[in-house]
Structure 1
Amino acid sequence: MYLSRTLEKNIRKVSDFFPVLLVPRPRKVGKTTILQACGAEGRNDVSLETLENRALAQMYLPITAEVDAVPIPYI
């Protein structure tokens, strides 16, 4: 059972404006679930946990390295 969240409205709004959404949260808290519930059609979700995906992200999005190094409260 999925419970609707107030954050969904904001996700839909920024999703129309930004081509990439970064959701930096701990593991197993429902990041993928909420994005799928928001109907992110035409978007792909990519986990940066695998070294291969991280290397690809750093190749195309150099900022990924800095995002990983910055504590979450400052993003």
Structure 2
Amino acid sequence: MKNFVQRRKRVNVCQKLRLTYQTYSVMAAILHHFLRKESSASALVTGLVAVETEIEGLVNRQEVKCDSDKEILLNG
């Protein structure tokens, strides 16, 4: 049962990270298309880069890792 709960937490974290990243990606693409070079689009792109950098940082610090299914897993 404990393993199931840990697995569920891992999946939830993975889904949240992916959804956050995907949301920023879609919003940045839409704003970039319609606003071109507007400050709102560049701010969103900056946010997207920040999210990507944070995910990479978590992986690099080994706070999360990717398993064979490319799922992000929390260590510990």
TM-score, L = length of structure 2: 0.28
TM-score, L = length of structure 1: 0.29
Looking at secondary structure, tell me which structure has more strand per residue: 2
Larger Rg: 2
Looking at secondary structure, tell me which structure has more helix per residue: 2
Between 1 and 2, higher relative CO (CA 8 Å, sep ≥ 6) is seen in 2
